[in-house]
Amino acid sequence: MRWNTAEYSGWGRALTASGQLARPERASAVAALMDEEPAPAIGNRRSYGDACLNDGGRAVDMTRMDRVLGFDPEAGEITVEAGVELGVLSRMLAPKGFLPAVMPGTGFATVGGAIAMDVHGKNHHHAGSFGQHVAEITLQTPKGERVVGEGTDLFRATVGGLGQTGVIVSAKLRLLKCKGDVIVVTERRVPGWDDFLALLDGSDATYTVGWIDATATGTKLGRGILEEAETGSGLIPSKSTARRIKRNAPGWALSPGIVRAFNSLYYNRVPRSGRTSVKRLQDFFFPLDRIHDWNKLYGRRGFHQFQCVVPVDAAPALRAMLEKIATSGLASPLAVLKRMGPGRAGFMSFPMEGYTLACDFRNVDRSTRLIRDLEQDVAEARGRLYLAKDALARGAHVRAMYPEHGDWLAEVQQVDPDKALVTDLVRRLELRAAP
């Protein structure tokens, strides 16, 4: 297996790495790599910060291992290699009456990455996290191949475990039945924060997500658009045209005035009475995938995303965080609010019952200071930061946010005592350091 030197980054492009990458095409090649010189695995690098980086070291790019190994429609299960993209799976399975049970905001995420981050989707309040629908993982550890079943400590250390137990080679997934290959989406304007939380709490739709105008202040703070959706059958709408951002946008493209104007137009695009429409599945689940390289809109320095979850009773603290964002003049048009249930599958899984807020910021010094301030607020609110998005947090805060960190560390130390699988994120947060 050839190792090639490459420069690469996460989706946020604020942090980069240079090192050697291998791209195996067979499980036997992964086994040989791990036997010779173990290295952490990466996928399509859709995590925003440094979770997928190993600067100065080696990494195993799993994107060429993208085969379907078995499909059992009677059991509603599929076995796939780790490099399979969730968007590809959704397009393949929907005509057969199934979908991946949980899908994040991009279809370019791989199954291996979804397991390593225990991703959540627009149905977390009902379906829980991705790892709760994984029946079995084939894992190549530095000590050899293991088939890991759910409920074991190694399973719980692998799901949401940031790739620190080994290379995920393949997985058996339990699928969600769907009514067809379109989705019926109802949108309505929400005038403010309290109304938004009440609607999220009361929603019984299978899929629910809120877009927040993160520039609105005063009585309009927290206004936005609530989307509720159900899969259906019928005529498939015409395919939307994909676009590509060819160049880095100039700094003024996301200036406060432009963002406020865009957000106002976006908010008012939905009639006061609301509206219901039929969409292609991909246009609802992965709306930004229609704009290839959309991360270039933040300019050559890239961007950071702040995403946290706080308990239900800490909603006032989350409101205060949104107010800081709205008055900072730093918010972008991309801000999302969701209600989460309690579902999580791993020791280091992000979800908890409560509310999650995500917002993007251009990579400038003021944004860094704001995100540091918000990190402190999350810690005081007994919440968590999402490590798939983080690039700036401090280790002491993060370790305190994840009370099962010690259980995860004990398992990781058993399978990788030499720390061959450590990544930039794990080093930065000192997650493998002794308690």
The DSSP-derived string for 344-371 is --STT----SEEEEEEEEESSHHHHHHH
Here the CATH number for the domain that contains residue 196 is 3.30.70.2520
Is residue 133 domain-shared with residue 144, that is, in the same domain?
Answer: yes
CB 68 within 8 A of CB 61: no
**Confidence (pTM):** 0.96
Looking at 119, 146, 179, which one is the last position of a domain?
179
Average pLDDT over residues 109-129: 97
Is residue 117 domain-shared with residue 160, that is, in the same domain?
Answer: yes
The number of residues in the chain equals: 435
Is residue 368 domain-shared with residue 263, that is, in the same domain?
Answer: yes
Is residue 83 domain-shared with residue 204, that is, in the same domain?
Answer: no
Taking only the tens place, the pLDDT of each residue in 296-335 is 999 999 999 999 999 999 999 999 999 999 999 999 999 9
Candidates 336, 303, 301, 134; CA nearest to 222 is 336
Looking at 179, 212, 241, which one is the last position of a domain?
179
Residue 172 bridge partners (DSSP): 79, 136
The total number of structural domains in the chain stands at: 2
Is residue 163 domain-shared with residue 188, that is, in the same domain?
Answer: no
The position carrying tokens 């798939």 is 388
Residues 398, 385: Cα–Cα separation, whole Å: 7
**CA atoms within 13 Å, Cβ hemisphere of 370:** 25
Is residue 139 domain-shared with residue 220, that is, in the same domain?
Answer: no
Q: Does residue 434 fall inside a structural domain?
A: no
Looking at 179, 202, 228, which one is the last position of a domain?
179
Residues 103, 110: Cα–Cα separation, whole Å: 10
| Strand spans (E) along 364-432 | 384-385
Q: Does residue 4 fall inside a structural domain?
A: no
Is residue 167 domain-shared with residue 212, that is, in the same domain?
Answer: no
Is residue 113 domain-shared with residue 204, that is, in the same domain?
Answer: no
Average pLDDT over residues 173-177: 97
Here the CATH number for the domain that contains residue 165 is 3.30.465.10
Candidates 167, 169, 157; CA nearest to 413 is 157
Residues 311, 380: Cα–Cα separation, whole Å: 11
Taking only the tens place, the pLDDT of each residue in 191-233 is 999 999 999 999 999 999 999 999 999 999 999 999 999 999 8
Q: Does residue 18 fall inside a structural domain?
A: no
Is residue 75 domain-shared with residue 217, that is, in the same domain?
Answer: no
**Amino acid letter, 123:** N
By residue range, what is the domain housing residue 308?
A: 182-397
Candidates 314, 292, 318; CA nearest to 306 is 318
Residue 415 bridge partners (DSSP): none
Is residue 136 domain-shared with residue 80, that is, in the same domain?
Answer: yes
Give me the chain's average pLDDT, please.
Answer: 96
**CA atoms within 13 Å, Cβ hemisphere of 410:** 7
**pLDDT of 417 strictly over 70:** yes
Q: Does residue 313 fall inside a structural domain?
A: yes
Is residue 161 domain-shared with residue 239, that is, in the same domain?
Answer: no
Is residue 76 domain-shared with residue 118, that is, in the same domain?
Answer: yes
